[in-house]
Each structure stands twice: as structure tokens, then as C-alpha cells.
Amino acid sequence: MKKNILILAITSLLICCKDKPLTPLVIAPFTAIDTLATNDWWNRGDNPIVNLKVNRDSVIAFGLYTVSNTTLKLSAQFYPLYPEESREVRLEIKKNGNWEMVQAQIINDLGWSALFKITEWDITQDYSYRLRHGKVAAFEGTIRKNPENQEQITMAALSCNSNQDRGLRENYVRNINHQNPDLIFFAGDQSYDHTEHTAAWLKFGQQFKETFRHRPCITIPDDHDIGQGNLWGESGKVSLSKGSPDGGYRYHPEYVKMVERCQTAHLPDPFDATPIQQGIGVYYTNLVLGGIDFAIIEDRKFKSGPEGKIPQQGPRPDHIRNPNYDPNSIDLPGLSLLGERQLHFLESWGQQDTSLLKVVLSQTGFCGGAHIHGSTDNRLHADLDSNGWPQTGRNKALNLIKKANAIHIAGDQHLATVIQHGIHDFRDGPWAFVVPAIVNDYYSRWWWPEDMKAGPNPNLNTRLRWTGDYLDGFNNKISMMSYVNPRNPSNGAGYGLIRFNTKKKEVTFECWPRDSDVSQPDAFQFEGWPITVSMKKTE
């Protein structure tokens, strides 16, 4: 109780708001961030991101859930509540035509979310669910049964929901619901409004709630979600440098915890819930759905920052423009990528129930998969924000993913690619699909080899010019099979659809432009897709 009082910082200060009696004011424990949805939010002007002053029958914004094995976790997201409104939310399930309340929870005033957890959930049938608040507010959805007998499991994957376009996402909603995947995955950067996560998260819900109203959904935050342009988490230390290349977190830990609570509380329980520095939590875990075991990892949280550790060789500590630098000179002892805790998790996860197909989900890719960043005149030899660095950490991660016979799905890069990694030799590592940005008008990237030549062993099933075996800027071996540069359809914006065939043990990567209409017979994917690869165990 004392901890909750401290976190919410409830004071005895009385305020007078328009047409309302004197009521206690809840003060956020951080300042200058999330100002639109904390303190006396109702006294503020119109919110430029989303209208927070909704009718009281609409205060439940959306619900997010996962079911893994037989445990249901469901997060209820609210618009901000007035001080005198109840903080109780109820979960009801429809049985035999009647709504039955199964649990009640308390809404957290920081982030306005609440979490339900029910063990021994019946996974054999679909259930209609309803979230209720007060007498009039409700949100309804469907908790799907486990697709354990399906030969094909599908997952839609998206990332990078730039605020350069605040419109609704009708094309995405229409296409995804038409394709009817079993699971949806948002790989990060659901919010680009760095200091106003609550409002931006509610906007994300307005845009995409119809895609996850009736299916399970995995959401994981990336750097922009927690208010940073880039994140090298360094186990939770405080960042003091502009742009945070020194590693750590820029904003108040309660803000970071609020973001992670809203976006990840509905995921299965963490493998090891021990907090990192500043009391920031972790969420790396696994989720079993049908015949697939998904490992959900945090590839930013334990990663070392470059500033002060390696010589700066570009305009920023994380951008190397010197093509003659020695890649070995930056792969130093003591640098971390996933951290020992997550490496232990991947080792353990890979050995569990090897009859299941294995998939790793994270924020970004394990190589430097782009040459040009942001604008056509910004060619980088190496980008230390990518998981191509540090190389030793990258190879440790890929070895464990390969050992699990898993593939990797990620986002972040604004550049869709399918790459087969090389660890010791070309093509001896796992396959990876980095999905495109939802909106690609913020920071584009290009795959554009400087000599403009195809690599050895190019992909002969595409008209794309630059496929084959390459070394990235860290001398990591990669085999580029497909890529989507900007100025293609939809400026390279779109989403991925991944089809897992549990009987044939193969996976098909699909990549759909934002402007496509998959309900039409002439709907087309980006050039270079679909790509089907085997997930059978190889030595």
C-alpha cells in the first residue's frame, strides 16, 4: 500500500475544476512528461494527439490479451478518469448467453490501465468477453481458442507507427481482418510522441483496436515508446548524454515502467522478473500458441552504449562513416547485446518442447541491413543502433537462435528485408524477416551497396538487383534475399504476414504494401515476396 501511495503520489491538495466539486489531485512522480494525461488533465486545452475528454460511456479504450498454455492475461486500457470516478474495472465472460463477472481489478492512475490474470483458462473454445466500468462503459471482444489442431498458423507483424501521419489505419485494419491471422505482433514504436505516451498509446488503440479486438496480440515497446530516439539500455542505468549514446534511460523510471506496463503487462509472465537498475522491470518471456513457441526478447534493455567505449568515427557516437575502420576494433570485451540473463533464457527456451516450431520476436535485426539512413546523402558504413554490434554479442544470440532451430521476426528499421544470417560461414545461421514501417515518412533507410553490384549467390527468384552474399559494416556475414527501398509502392510502408505450416515445418514470409487491398484478386506484394523457407532441423 505504501509503495502504491508513493508511486501515485496522492496528495491532500484540493483543487477546483470546472463544474466539479473539490477533489484530491493525483500528482505524477515525474514532470514535463505525460502532462496531457496526468495531474489536472481535464483543465488543459485540446489534446493535439487524441481527444481525452470522451463521453463517459467510452472511457474503456481497448483491451489486449494473450493466452499461453492455459493462462489468460488481459490488459484493460482506459482514457483518463476524473478524480471522483471509480477505479474499478470488471471482466465479464459470456456463458450460455449470459454475461458472468469473473474478476475485478483496480485501474492505475499512471497510464490508466489494469491487468487481469486467470489461470486454468479453457482454451478449447472461443469466448466473448466484456470489460465494464461503472454503469455504462463497456468494451467487447473475443478470446480465441487455442489453434492447436490447425496445420497453418498465421501472424501479422507491424512496427514504426510514425506520428507524421495521425490518421486512422483503415487499410491495415481491412487487410489484416480479411487475412484473419491467429496472432498479431507489434514490434515497437507504437508511439512517436516521446513525452506523451498515454495520449499516443490511446491513439494507437484508436487506429488498431479492430485488429486485436478478436485475436491475441503481442506488443513490445522500442526506443520511441519510452521517449528516446535510440536506446542502449545498459541494464537500466541513467543516461546523461544528449541522444543517450552513453547507454541507459533518459526519462524518469516511473515513466518507463508505465510505458512497459501499458504495452506488455498482458504478455505471459517474465522468465525472470528480477528488475534492473532504477527498479525498471523486464518482460522477456515465451508464448505458446498452437504448434508454435514464440520467444519474446528485449534486444535494447541490456545493450551497451557506444559513447566512451569506442572511438567516434562519424557525426554521432553511433554512426561510423569511415569505411577503412577495423571492425574488430569496436568488438571489445565486456560489451553486451542481449545480456547474460536473456542468453540464459534463449538457451533454456530452445531446449523446451522441441516438437514445436520456434520463433524469436524482438525489436530490431541482428545485422547492419541498410546502407543509407534518413536521407540519400547519409551513407553509413556501420550503425551501432543495429544488433550487428557488438559482433560477439550478435553471434552469441544467433548461435542460440540457430540451436533452437528458430527464425527471427523484428521491425524498427523502416526497411523490410529477408536475410539469412551467417555466423561462421555464409548461410549457416537463422533466417530473419524485418517487417516494414507502418508509416515510412519519418526516417527511411535504403539497401544500396556502394558498388551497386549483386553479391555472390543472388536470389534468382526476384528482379531486385542487389541480393546475394555480403559483409555488413561490422564484417558480419549476411545473405540478402529481399528488400524494400522507399519510393516503391506505399513508399516502402506496409506490414508482414507470416504463415507457419506446422505439418511441413516451413514458414512463408509475405510483405504487403500499405496501399494494397488483399481482398481484391489483383492484390500484389512487394517485389521479392513471398519467400518460403524450411524450419526442419539441420545439422
Give the pLDDT confidence score for residue 26 in this predicted structure: 67
Cα(468)–Cα(455) distance, rounded to whole angstroms?
4
Task: Classify residue 28: in a domain, yes or no.
Answer: no
Q: How many domains does the chain have?
A: 1
Say yes or no to pLDDT of 34 above 90.
Answer: yes
130, part of any domain: no
Predicted confidence at residue 348, as pLDDT, reads 98
| 3-state SS record for 302-340 | CCCCCCCCCCCCCCCCCEECCCCCCHHHHCCCCCCCCHH
Quick check: is 198 in a domain?
no
- Asked whether residue 196 carries a pLDDT value surpassing 70, the answer given is yes
The pLDDT assigned to 488 comes to: 87
pTM: 0.95
Q: What percent of the chain has pLDDT over 70?
A: 95
* Cα 457 from Cα 470, distance rounded (Å): 10
Q: What is the pLDDT of residue 523?
A: 96
For the chain, the average pLDDT equals 94
Residue 79 covered by a domain: no
Q: Answer whether residue 325 is part of any domain.
A: yes
For residue 450, what is the domain's CATH number?
3.30.750.180
Query: What was the pLDDT predicted at 21?
Result: 40
Binning pLDDT at 50, 70 and 90, where does residue 24 land?
Answer: low
Evaluate the omega torsion of the peptide bond into residue 390 and state whether it is cis, within 30 degrees of 0: yes
Indicate the pairing of strand 113-118 with strand 71-78.
antiparallel
- Residues 255-276: tens digit of each pLDDT: 999 999 999 999 999 999 999 9
Residues 6+ apart with CB under 8 A from 122: 70
Tens of pLDDT along 75-109?
999 999 999 999 999 999 999 999 999 999 999 99
- Contact assessment for residue 140 and residue 76, using Cβ atoms and an 8 Å cutoff: no
pLDDT in tens, 483-496: 999 998 899 999 99
Q: Decide if 86 is inside a domain.
A: no
Query: Can you tell me the mean pLDDT for 145-157?
Result: 96
Task: Tell how strand 183-186 and strand 152-158 pair up.
Answer: parallel
328 assigned to some structural domain = yes
- pLDDT higher than 90, residue 11: no
Q: What is the pLDDT of residue 159?
A: 98
Element (H, E) at 399: helix 391-403
Structural domain that includes position 489: 152-187+283-361+363-534
pLDDT tops 70 at residue 2: no
396-414 mean pLDDT:
98
Which pLDDT belongs to residue 19?
42
Percentage of the chain modeled with pLDDT above 90: 92
CB atoms within 10 A of CB 126: 10
Asked if residue 66 is part of any domain, the answer here is no
Q: Which residue has the higher pLDDT, 20 or 124?
A: 124
